[in-house]
Amino acid sequence: MVMEVNQGNFNEVIKDTVPVLVDFWAPWCGPCKMLGPVLEEVAVELEGKMKVTKLNVDENQEISMEYGVSSIPTVLVFKEGALVDRFVGFMPKAAIIQKLEKHI
């Protein structure tokens, strides 16, 4: 399951004991729409090993600013609250999993 995060719970969620992926997206973004279902599959595949979340940049501009998100989709990976990786733009599932494996 892909969990929605926002300004209210973001800082809490990224401190999780398992690594946390945050998908920065917006409803008007075409590539975000394509990445969404791919990340749903990633979430299933990595269940228990990584938490997959998404954040709407329109509704949470402060967080987007804080992390310098200037293109979407942008995916950030956190480990116990610390930013450990980021990638920008659509990626196929196999490539995403490969990128994430080193954080698991």
Cβ atoms 8, 62 nearer than 8 A: no
Closer CB to other proteins, 16 or 97, in the complex: 97
Is there binding between residue 2 and other proteins (CB under 8 A)?
Answer: no
Site for other proteins in 24-53 (CB under 8 A): 26, 28-31, 34, 37-38, 41
Is there binding between residue 83 and other proteins (CB under 8 A)?
Answer: no
Cβ atoms 16, 51 nearer than 8 A: yes
Among all chains, which residue has been given the structure tokens 């480990």?
79
- 32 catalytic? Reply is yes
Closer CB to other proteins, 18 or 65, in the complex: 65
The answer for residues whose C-beta is within 8 angstroms of residue 102's C-beta and 6 or more apart is none
Question: What is the closest distance, in whole angstroms, from the C-beta atom of residue 73 to other proteins in the complex?
Answer: 10
* Best CA proximity match to 90, nearest among 45, 25, 43: 25
Among all chains, which residue has been given the structure tokens 């929605």?
4
Question: What is the closest distance, in whole angstroms, from the C-beta atom of residue 102 to other proteins in the complex?
Answer: 17
Query: Which residues does the annotation mark as catalytic?
Result: 29, 32
